[in-house]
């Protein structure tokens, strides 16, 4: 895969190995899904406190409480987009509206076409983590995840799944799409946790 050319000068506060490109590259696996608002829903399932599934239509989800955050965006392919303004529904709001069982430790974020990424509950509840609907004051474009994508700004961006459709609460960690294909289970850019061979004991379930 070719990488965009870096711009200059580069900020000093980038994670190791990262650079700032010109523009915002578009990278994803598979085609861009077509949004059909009448058929779209967002579900929270798995180990919920009630044992029941929670569901929102598009109109209901788009009316949920929102937050804003300005954060950097770190792609594992080594580019960083600094200073993004995101607006959306925070992970903390989802947990309040659809409480997890007490023994939940991770979530699996599910997207169109069965794409997934596993995230520790501590990352899901962290400041800045949200199901974003807007970027820099505008609705997300289709290429960047419209109608919603999760943003986990302190992790590599494959954890910031596009075209999200639901969250599964997990009482035991399980690898998602890219984690099953050799990417690091945690994905901390400041520690350059890019690949599964870098994992230490206790960081991940078996491959």
* pTM, entire model: 0.90
| Residue with tokens 């590599």, as numbered in its chain | 156
Closest by CA position to 115, among listed 64, 177, 58 = 177
Res 104 pLDDT > 50: yes
Res 5 pLDDT > 70: no
- Position 24 scores a pLDDT of 77
Q: Answer whether the bond into residue 67 is a cis peptide, omega within 30°.
A: no
Res 7 pLDDT > 50: no
Average pLDDT, the chain: 91
88 close to 130: Cβ distance less than 8 angstroms: yes
Res 6 pLDDT > 90: no
51 vs 32: which has the higher pLDDT = 51
70 close to 93: Cβ distance less than 8 angstroms: no
- Position 206 scores a pLDDT of 78
Res 12 pLDDT > 70: no
- Position 201 scores a pLDDT of 77
- Position 205 scores a pLDDT of 85
154 close to 37: Cβ distance less than 8 angstroms: no
Instruction: Report the Cα 74 to chain-centroid distance in Å.
Output: 11
Q: What is the pLDDT of residues 169-204, one digit of tens each?
A: 999 999 999 999 999 999 999 999 999 998 887 777
| Banded pLDDT at 51 (limits 50, 70, 90) | very high
φ/ψ (deg, to 5) at 176: -90, -165
Residues 6+ apart with CB under 8 A from 59: 37
Share of the chain above pLDDT 90, in %: 82
**What is the C-alpha separation between 152 and 141, in angstroms, rounded?**
18
Query: Residue 42: helix, strand or coil by DSSP?
Result: strand
| Banded pLDDT at 94 (limits 50, 70, 90) | very high
Q: What is the pLDDT of residues 140-174, one digit of tens each?
A: 999 999 999 999 999 999 999 999 999 999 999 99
């Amino acid at each position: 895969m070719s990488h965009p050319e870096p711009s200059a000068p580069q900020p000093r506060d980038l994670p190791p190995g990262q650079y700032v490109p010109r523009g915002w590259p578009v990278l994803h696996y598979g085609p861009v899904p077509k949004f059909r608002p009448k058929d779209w829903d967002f579900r929270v399932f798995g180990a919920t406190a009630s044992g029941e599934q929670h569901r929102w239509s598009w109109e209901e989800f788009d009316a949920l409480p929102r937050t804003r955050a300005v954060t950097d965006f770190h792609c594992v392919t080594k580019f960083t987009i600094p200073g993004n303004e995101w607006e959306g529904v925070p992970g903390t709001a989802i947990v309040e509206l659809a409480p997890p069982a007490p023994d939940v430790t991770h979530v699996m974020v599910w997207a169109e076409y069965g794409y997934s990424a596993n995230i520790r509950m501590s990352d899901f509840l962290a400041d800045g983590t949200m199901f974003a609907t807007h970027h820099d004051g505008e609705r997300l474009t289709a290429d960047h995840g419209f109608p919603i994508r999760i943003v986990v700004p302190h992790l590599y961006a494959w954890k910031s799944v596009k075209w999200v459709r639901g969250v599964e609460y997990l009482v035991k960690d399980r690898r998602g799409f890219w984690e099953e294909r050799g990417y690091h289970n945690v994905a901390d850019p400041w520690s350059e946790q890019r690949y599964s061979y870098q994992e230490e004991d206790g960081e991940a379930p078996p491959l």
